[in-house]
Amino acid sequence: MPKQPSVYKEYRRQLILSWITTVTHWMMTLGAIMFVLGFVYLLYAVLFAGLDSQQYTVQDQIRIRGNLGLAGNMMLLGAGFVVIGVAWNYLEEPLVGVILLLLAAGFYWGLPLLIGQLGALPTPGTLRDFALERIRNTAWVLFPPGLLLTVFVSLAHAIKRLRYGVGLDQPLRLGTDVAQQQVQRRFLGKCWQLPYCRDYVRARCPIYHARRTCWREGVGCMCEEKAIITAFKEARISSDPEKNAKYIPRNTTLSRWELRQRCGECIIYNEHQRQKYQLFAPLTIGAVVGAAYFFREPLQGAVLDLLGMLDSLLARFTLSPAQASESVLKAAAQTSEIASLVLYVSAVIVVLSYSLRLVELVIFKWKL
């Protein structure tokens, strides 16, 4: 009987979550329709309506500007609905935030490039320029949630790795039935200084008495417990660690690669890897953020130079006049300090995210 209220509470929670998921799916569908309608209308106005080549009365300009503004608002609202739905339904997907950041960069910087490829850019202050600005404003709907999702997913995943290590997504085969022991632990210590070293094994373990590590020797108490315990069966333990090293058993039936694979499935070695990640993950975050802050000016200049190189490359291979493509991306990035900062922050966030992924790959996948 006492469990009924908690069961009912859980049922209500699941019902609310299911209702929110259904609503957000409808929001994504409605938002996509609104976004496409507004985007197509504005894109037509920019590319095909000939707004720069026609003379309009003041009343017509006000009417057209109002229509363009309405289409822009519809596009922004639709993009907002889609972002809300994506953020709720795909919160922990690692690429969602990065994709939103790339889309934001595409609308803000990529669109002028596309217009430059197809013809002349709009004259500032014209109706065509107003329509283009309405499209580019989509970047400000996509960028903040993209930035937050990228940071959230990267840090949330890193925190889980710090806590669970390889156990987050890789099954272990050796030592999973061994509980953590009450031993004198040392951060990044040897195998016998980690929480899974058992007293009754350590007392007869030649690796412990030689002050070495099981993953260096290719044999240990989790994979060959019997061989470890019986290593000193006919010998006396010496006070000299080097003399005890000769009693470490050797497995000659497995290759060095197979021994490494076996270590990769051992709970002791992967506890060592988890602690290694605890060291390198914060160092990676500090290194990326520190470099981005202290070397901001040269790095921002390098990003702009990269855009300039891309401009030159596109101008070389475009089928439109080369002048239409020269410095389009670089000029778009230099339109304001905010635009340049947005591009730089986005690049830093993406670099930070994939730097953590690289550290994770090296430590938990490659087992280095």
Cα 306 to Cα 325: distance, rounded to the nearest angstrom:
15
Residue-level pLDDT, tens digit, the chain, 368 residues: 445 567 778 888 888 888 999 999 999 999 999 999 999 999 999 888 888 777 888 898 899 999 999 999 999 999 999 999 999 998 888 889 989 999 998 898 888 777 877 777 788 888 988 999 999 999 999 999 999 999 888 888 888 898 888 888 888 889 888 998 888 788 999 999 999 999 999 999 999 999 999 999 999 999 999 999 999 988 889 999 999 999 999 999 999 999 999 999 999 999 999 999 999 999 999 999 999 999 988 888 887 777 777 666 666 655 555 444 455 556 666 556 677 777 788 889 889 988 999 999 999 999 98
Residue 254 CB partners (closer than 8 Å, separation 6+) = 218, 262
pLDDT at 267: 94
- Distance, in Å, from the CA atom of 366 to the CA atom of 357, rounded to the nearest integer, reads 12
Q: Which of 218, 223, 213, 177 is nearest to 192 (CA)?
A: 213
Dihedral sign, Cα of residue 114, residue 31, residue 74, residue 340: negative
DSSP state of 358: H
Q: Which two tokens stand for residue 42?
A: 């504005």
DSSP string, 285-320: HHHHHHHHHHTHHHHHHHHHHHHHHHHHHHHHH-SS
Per-residue model confidence (pLDDT) at position 333: 60
Kindly provide the b/e burial profile for residues 33-48, where b requires at least 16 CB atoms within 10 angstroms of the residue's own CB. Answer: ebbeebbebbbebbee
Instruction: Give the pLDDT score at 1.
Output: 45
Running DSSP on this structure, what letter comes out for residue 247? G
Query: What is the pLDDT, as a whole number, of residue 50?
Result: 81
Q: For 249-271, b where at least 16 C-beta lie within 10 A, e where not — what string? A: beeeeeeeeebeebbbbbbbbbb
pTM given for the model: 0.78
Is 191:206 a contact under the CB 8 Å cutoff?
A: no
In the chain, where are the structural domains located?
A: 3-167+279-365, 191-256
* Maximum alpha-carbon separation in the chain: 106
CB 205 within 8 A of CB 192: yes
